[in-house]
Copies of this chain bind each other. A is one copy, B any other.
C-alpha cells in the first residue's frame, strides 16, 4: 500500500486509541472500509437535502456547518483537524441532511460509510469493538451538543466570543471573521466592536 496512505491510517488508528483500542485482527478488517478523501476549498462534504453517507476524520483542513433560512446562510459549527465531521442525524437515520457542510480550505479526510458501519457491526471479528467505538463517539458528541445548547440558551454573542477566547481556540486564528460573526449571530461590524471592547487597553 502507498506509504502516504499508510501514514494517514496510522494517524487514524492512534487517534482512535484515545477512544477504543483495536487489536491487529480487528484493525485489519476495519481499515479495509476506510477511504481517503480530498476536498478542494469550498467543496461540500454534505449538501442540505441530500443524505450524508459518511463520517470523516479531518486529517488536515477545516469545515463549517450551516443552515439556509430565507436565502441567508446561518453558520452553526466548525470542525478543524483531528475532529470527526458528519451530519450525524442524516448519517444515522439515512435521511436528508438539514445542514450543509463545506470545507473552508483544501481538506484531507479519512471516511467510512453507513454501509461500512453496518457490515462492521455484523462482522463477529469487529462487532464488539464497533459497538464500543459507536457508543464512545456518540457520547463524546452528546457532551459537545450539550455545551452548544447551553451556550445558545444562556450566553450572549459577546459571552460566547469571550468563551472562545478563554479556550484559546484555534478557531479564532483559522476561521474567517465573517463566518465567526455569522456563527455568533452578529454582523462582522458588531464583532469588530466586541473585539475592540475586549482588546482595548484599560485607560
A residues near B (Cβ < 8 Å) are 67, 69, 74, 76, 88-89, 92-93, 98-99, 127-128, 131-132, 134-135, 138-139, 141-143, 145-150, 152-154
Contacts and interface: CB of A to CB of B under 8 A. Distances in A.
Contacts of A147: 89
Given A69-B154, A135-B131, A154-B67, A142 B143 contact: no
Copies of this protein chain in the complex: 2
Interface majority SS (helix, strand, loop, mixed), chain A: helix
B145 A149 contact: yes
A102 B98 CA distance: 32
Contacts of A150: 67, 76, 98-99
Contacts of A154: 67, 69, 74
Contacts of A128: 127-128, 131
B149 A146 contact: no
Contacts of A69: 154
